[in-house]
Structure formats: C-alpha cells, structure tokens
Structure 1
Amino acid sequence: MSASHAATGRVAEGGVTAAPGGALSRGLRIGLLFGPTVFGVTAAGVALPQVSAALEAGSAAVAWVLIAHALALGVGTALFGRFADSWGVRTSLLAGSAVLAVGAIACVAAPNLGVLVAGRLLLATGSGAMAAGGLALLAMTAPELRARCLAVYGAVMAVFAAAAPLLGGLVTAWPSWRATVALPVLSLLAVPFCLPLVTRPGSGQRIDYAGAAALAGAAGALLVAIQSGTLGLPGPVAIGLAAVALLLGAWVLRRKDGFVPRPVVADRRFVLAMVIGVGIFGGLFATMYAVPQLLAREYGWSVLEVGAALLPGAVVGAVGSRMAGSLTARWGRTVLAGVAAAAGLTLGYAGLAGGGPWPVVVGAALGLAAFAVAQVVLTAEMSGRIPPPQRGAGMGLLNLTFFVGGGAGSAICGALAGPLGLTAALAVVAVFPLVAAVVAVASR
C-alpha cells in the first residue's frame, strides 16, 4: 500500500479510524516522541557521580534520582494511558507536556537532592504521558501498516538507547549534570508533529482515580521497603510498608472495572511479558546506577569515557531490535532471551570474578542491547494482543510494571552497595536479566 493511499484513512480494527501517514513517517514521529524517555535512566545514570559530588549526597541517596524517575515514569505511563483512552490522545499529550516542562525546570534549578528528586518525579510523570501517547498512536496504526511502523519505531528507540550513554557524558561534561537529568524534556519537540496523527476521540469513560492512587502508593511503598536499610528505617517499618504494598495491590486488582483491567491481567501472555520486562528493566536500571559510579571511583574513568565505552553495546541493541522487529513472536523472544542471558552472565562474572573494568562495561552494554530489543518485541506482541478499548490502559499497566521493576533493581543494588560493595551488588542483580531470559525462552 502506498503512503498516499494510507493517508486517506480507513476504519481499522475495533472501529478505530486509522490515522493518516505512511508507516515510515508514523514510526519516526512516534519514536521521536517516546525516545527521549530512555534518557531519564541511561543518560542520567552516567551523571550520578557528578550529582553525588555536587549535592554532597552518598551513592545510596543519589540512587533515588533513578528510583524516583522509574516509579513516576511507570505511574505516569499507566495514568496517562487511561487519560488517553478517556480524554483522547491530544488532550493527554498537551497535559503531559505541561507537567514535563515544569519538572525539567525544577531539575535544572534544584538546590539540593530533595528538590532534584521531586523535580524528577514531575519530569518522569510528564515523560510517562509521552510514552503513553506514543503507545496509543501505535495502536491507531492500521493493521496492514503496523508491522513496518513498529520496525521503524524500534529502530528509532534503539538509536536513542545507543546515543544515551555518550550523550549523557557529553552533556554532563558541558554544560552540566543538571541538563543531563532533564534530557527527557526533548520529547516536547516531537509533540507538534504527533498531534496530527490523532484521529480517535476520547471515550469519556470514568477514570478510577482511587485505584490509580492506590497502585502508585503500592509501588512507592514497595520501593521504600526495599531501600529501608539504606534509609535507616526499623525492621517493623519495612515489614509494614511491604504489607501496605501487598494490600493496596490486592485491593486494586479486586475492583471491578477499576484502574487495572481484569481481562488484561488475566491473560497469561500478558503476565509473562510483565515478568520478562521486569527482568530486563531491573537489570538495566541497576547496572546504570552501579557501573558509572564503579568506573569513576575504582578506575578513574571520566563521564565521557563511560559514555563512549557503553556506545558499542547500545549499537548492537539497535541492530538486534531492528532484526527482532522483522521476526515472528517466537524468534523475536529467542533473540531477546539470548541478549538478556549474555547480559546476566557477563554481569555475574564481573561481579564474582572481577577482571578489571571491561567485563563490567560489556555487561552494561549488553543490558542496553536487551532493553532495546525488549522495547520492540514486547510492544509488538502486546499492542496487537490487547483489545482496542483496553489498549491504552493495558499498555500503560505493562510499562508501569516494567519501570517499577527497574526502580526495584536500582533500589536493591543501592541497598546492597553499602554492605557488599558495588561490584558484588552487580553479581546479585545479574539474576534479573537471567530470569527474563529463562521466561522468554519458556514462553515462546
């Protein structure tokens, strides 16, 4: 089908009018909207040593620069996924743009770590709106264009993942780490080009705000419980927080027609995709927390050297994600499992056997590659599997799980770094990508 024919629009699955534009144009625009969200972790992680020094904060404390971002990005994606279904993608993107801009200003002007973390919460919430909008626009793509659109989107996402470590190093070196932690604001440049792709109005359905708040509370309580030792919280408080997380999560799941759509979470394939994503994101976030600090402290590497060293592995992810996008679901998961297993084994070796900086660098680079491949494989599978009326909520919930898993990975690594050291902590969090690899192979 030609791009001009596609531009005339048609009724796609579920009675949704396909948005205008060819697959190449759509995939590029959506990728540019979603892509800068990866800078919140992969670029910001490179700047953590400078954040720690400038704000006089310990390594465990600065982990919250990534943990808070992961939590708010997941919650923002899930919440704005619901907003996109109810209000329409256009309104959701515009509202999210305002939140993103305010968060970026707060990050750049932050006088201390507390304000920086608060700014990152706002920044990530707005970035979640960009992610949710991108996922909704992918869902609006006509079925006959979706495969190619996803391939282009995946290639763009991989380019962002590949560029993030080096860009983080360059921006941290000049002008400042403050600009690095606010890089997700670049999504705003793509918003005007994505608004014309919106053709489906909002459904006007009621949004379960109580369920959204409870789900956010459950995720936050879980992450604080994991970090309880680092935060100096007594054991009973940590146990209480974990119990609160479980109770709130159970309450949300029991609500009929609530924030979490029951038919979606009852789908076994959806649950397995959640587990795979948690493993990939948990390993990557933990690695991007530990590796830049480890290389800077123990080997004296500069932020530019760290970024440049991670670039080749991210390029491998760009190639792998492009290849995975053209494969069937079975073989796409095989590629994903292979890259995740390689990342986990390398990190485990680096943590247990040492061997200098390069095993650590290779493990981190493979983690970036696994992230890029997972973006394409899991998005393609689930966006086509979830029914259109629940797609915004379902994809938002899926990404919430991924990012909370990422935050948990960072929190666990930060909690273990004190008693064990960063190198040994990496060996422990290597379990995350290894579990993802096993589940990806078993669920093909």
Structure 2
Amino acid sequence: MIENDSSGRRIPALWLVLLSTPTSLSANAATTVVPELARGLNVSVSHATWAATAFGWGAVVGTPLTAALLRSRTMRVAVLVNAALVLLGTLLVVLAPGLAGLLAGRACQAAGGSGLVTVAISLARTPRRTGLVTAAIGLVGAFGPLAGSALAALSWRVALSLSLLALAAVAAVVRDVPARRASGDVRGTDGAGVALVAALVTALVLIAAAPVPALVCASVTLLLLGVHVRRHRDGFVPQPVLRTRAFRRSSVTACALSTTYFAVLYSVPHRLEEYWSAEATGGAVLLALATGSAASLLFVNWTSRLAPAAVHTAFAAAAATAVVLPLTSWPAAFAAATGFAVFAATGAMAWHAVRVAGAAPARYRSDAVALFTLCYQLGGAFGPALAAALIT
C-alpha cells in the first residue's frame, strides 16, 4: 500500500502485529507504576504522571516524523530509524537518574513506537491484515495495566521497557521490505511542513494542560500551515491528499472514534470504583476489550460483503452505544462500553486505512496513510483529556 516499489515480499501478519503492539502495551503499563516511579525518582506523584504525558506527546509527534521518512527515504530506513528511537528511549528509561531523563526516554520510545505502528499499518495492505494489526493493538494494550503491575514487582523501569519487544520483529520486516524506492519517487522532506505539523499536534495535545496558550498556538500554527500547503502543492501535507474526500471523511471519523474509545477507557474504571473492587473492574474491562477487539477483527473480514453505508452505520452505532452505556445505572454496562468503543475504533481504523490508501493517488499513498494514522493518534491525546474533564 505504501511502498511504491512492489518488489518487497508480503510480510507475515504476525510480524506486523509484533512490530506494532508493544507500544500500546508500554503506554498502558505506565498507568499502574506511577506510585513506584515517584518513589524511585523521589518526586511527587503529580510530577511522575508526566511520564504518561511525555509518552502521549511522543506518539503523536512520531507519526509525522515517520511520514517524512517514508516520503524522502525508504520503508527500510523508516523501520530502522524508529527501532533506533525505541532502543534509545528504553536505554534512557533504564538508566535515567532523574525525571528529565525518564521523560526524554518515554518520548523517544513513543515516537519510535508510533512510527512502527504507522509502518505496520502501511505494510498490511488488505482490510483483513490491517484489521488483525489494529485489533491486536487494542487487545494487547488491554493487558498493559496487568503487565505493569506484575513487572513493577521487579522494577518500575522494567515495566516501562516493554516497547523493546517490538525490536524482535525488526529483522524480519527489514528483510522483506524493498531496499530502494521506485525510480523518480524520491521527494524532498519539506522540513517546514513537518515542523508546522509537529507544532500543531503538540499544541493540540497541550490544550488540556494550558487551554488558552495552547489554543492560541494551535490557531496561529494552523494558519501558517494553511498558507504553507497552498504554496507547496507537493509538500508534506500534499494538496491532492487533502482534496480526496475519502481522506477527509476517514480522518475525521478515525479521530472521533479514537477520542471516544480513550475517553471511555479512562473514565469507566472511575465510574466502577463505587461498585466493584479494583480486581473485578480490571477483569471486567479486560474481558470487554478482548471481546471488542476480536469482534472488530471478525467484522472487518466481512466488510467487503457489505455496503460502505452499512459499515459506517455499524461503527457509528457501536460508538454511540459506548457513550450511552455509562449513563445507565448498571455497572456491567459501564464495562461493556469499553468493548463497544474498542470495536468501533480499531475496526474503523482498519477499514478506513485501506480506503484512504486506495483513494489517494499512488504517489501520495504513504502521505495519506501516515496523516490518517496521525488523526487516529490524536484521539489518544484528546480522549484522556475529555475523560478527565468529565470526571471532575
């Protein structure tokens, strides 16, 4: 889908799953090790939670950086650079003596990990394989808090090093992707475009922490980006991609459903505190997430037999159900909401990613899929912020 040179062999889906899932595992593992982290670095719990913020920021910024690599280099280079970021970030997490080094490490881990997710989705190429990757990301991420709790008994640093597992797939993926791009397909990096996109997503991520300054920065950056895009038709955000109706519709949908998923995921445990124990809540949410992830994979395999309108309706209905269920007074419905939310988000991610790639001109497929993935990643930043606002 992404690599215009088709000489690369089809990579087994399990390697793509291993390449992409450790990032979600590592992200969610941090939720249960914050107290240990605070004690280990002799900082307050509130300061320790910046480890999660740094990871979220790195994940969002890593996607445009990977898009720039796919645009100007090769898929192989993109894999190796992101793998190096994961390795560097993990080394910083393991060795950092203070909070600043740890935050830098978590940001590097997330940037490299989100880049590997973009690569995996790009290499999947079919709805079924893409669905397997996205469903696995949701399913494996559900085990993050449990893994964090278990590994924290050894060390909180070990619990925050799970991103390293992705490197086990790098050799297999690098072996099978093309070493060269198609003739005439190498384009400039457009550093200004990359910087503006990175600045925009950074401002958007910080809206919850500093609403007024972040909104001002986001507005100014968006204006500058708009001017840049108009002046550079073939820039980092190509005009032919923005003019594609499938890209616009799919990107907005992916961001909305991802935001819904993460908002539900972060708010449901809080709602269940007054009804169930922490163990019961964790088990129920894990079961719901596993069921929803598996259902999304099965559904994506059937989407080729359904009309696009029916697929849109199914995902929208699942997301609406996820929003409505927590409004009831039935605790089991709260947990079930996470299953509907992950079904809508991961299933839609798989289905729309293939549609975005198919609708974009061949020259711009890597740009289209990377920018689409960025919109999905933004939901991972917006959702928790929305959940926090709803809880308070």
Fold conserved between structures, TM > 0.5: yes
Residues in 1 aligned to 2:275 and 2:45: alpha-carbon distance in whole angstroms: 18
**Partner in structure 2 of residue 425 of structure 1:** none
Question: Does the CA contact (< 8 Å) of 1:79 and 1:396 recur in 2?
Answer: no
Deviation at 1:45, TM superposition (A): 4.2
Deviation at 1:374, TM superposition (A): 2.0
Question: Does the CA contact (< 8 Å) of 2:30 and 2:148 recur in 1?
Answer: no
**Partner in structure 1 of residue 368 of structure 2:** 394
- 1:372 is paired with a residue whose SS is helix
Structure 1 residues 176-185 or 49-58, which shifts more? Answer: 49-58
**Partner in structure 2 of residue 215 of structure 1:** 197
Normalised by the size of structure 1, how large is the TM-score?
Answer: 0.75
Residues in 2 aligned to 1:294 and 1:178: alpha-carbon distance in whole angstroms: 30
1:127 aligned onto 2:103: no
Structure 1 residues 120-129 or 245-254, which shifts more? Answer: 245-254
Of 266, 280, 302 in structure 1, the residue corresponding to residue 257 of structure 2 is: 280
Residues in 2 aligned to 1:286 and 1:194: alpha-carbon distance in whole angstroms: 33
Question: Does the CA contact (< 8 Å) of 2:241 and 2:360 recur in 1?
Answer: yes
Question: Does the CA contact (< 8 Å) of 1:66 and 1:285 recur in 2?
Answer: no
**Partner in structure 2 of residue 184 of structure 1:** 163
Structure 1 residues 173-182 or 382-391, which shifts more? Answer: 173-182
1:17 aligned onto 2:17: no
Matches for 1:36-51 after TM superposition, within 5 Å: 36-45=22-31, 47=33
Deviation at 1:89, TM superposition (A): 1.0
Residues in 2 aligned to 1:342 and 1:164: alpha-carbon distance in whole angstroms: 22
Change (3 A) 1:407 1:204: same
Matches for 1:358-377 after TM superposition, within 5 Å: 358-377=332-351
**Partner in structure 2 of residue 324 of structure 1:** 300
1:57 aligned onto 2:31: no
- 1:283 is paired with a residue whose SS is helix
- 1:366 is paired with a residue whose SS is helix
Change (3 A) 1:240 1:115: same
Deviation at 1:296, TM superposition (A): 6.3
Structure 2 gaps, min length 5: none
Residues in 1 aligned to 2:373 and 2:4: alpha-carbon distance in whole angstroms: 25
Deviation at 1:366, TM superposition (A): 2.5
Deviation at 1:262, TM superposition (A): 1.0
- 1:206 is paired with a residue whose SS is coil
Change (3 A) 1:35 1:383: farther
Of 103, 106, 122 in structure 1, the residue corresponding to residue 92 of structure 2 is: 106
Matched letter for residue 77 of structure 1: T
- 1:327 is paired with a residue whose SS is helix
Normalised by the size of structure 2, how large is the TM-score?
Answer: 0.84
Deviation at 1:339, TM superposition (A): 2.0
Deviation at 1:382, TM superposition (A): 1.4
Change (3 A) 1:176 1:370: farther
Question: Does the CA contact (< 8 Å) of 2:64 and 2:197 recur in 1?
Answer: no
Deviation at 1:126, TM superposition (A): 0.6
Structure 1 residues 12-21 or 264-273, which shifts more? Answer: 12-21
Structure 1 gaps, min length 5: 1-11, 139-145, 230-234, 422-444
Deviation at 1:383, TM superposition (A): 2.1
Residues in 2 aligned to 1:34 and 1:107: alpha-carbon distance in whole angstroms: 20
RMSD: 3.2
Deviation at 1:77, TM superposition (A): 2.0
Change (3 A) 1:152 1:335: same
**Partner in structure 1 of residue 217 of structure 2:** 241
- 2:278 is paired with a residue whose SS is coil
1:168 aligned onto 2:168: no
Matched letter for residue 335 of structure 2: V
Residues in 1 aligned to 2:273 and 2:136: alpha-carbon distance in whole angstroms: 25
**Partner in structure 1 of residue 128 of structure 2:** 151
**Partner in structure 2 of residue 96 of structure 1:** 82
1:413 aligned onto 2:390: no
Question: Does the CA contact (< 8 Å) of 2:34 and 2:45 recur in 1?
Answer: no
**Partner in structure 2 of residue 430 of structure 1:** none
- The count of aligned residue pairs is 381
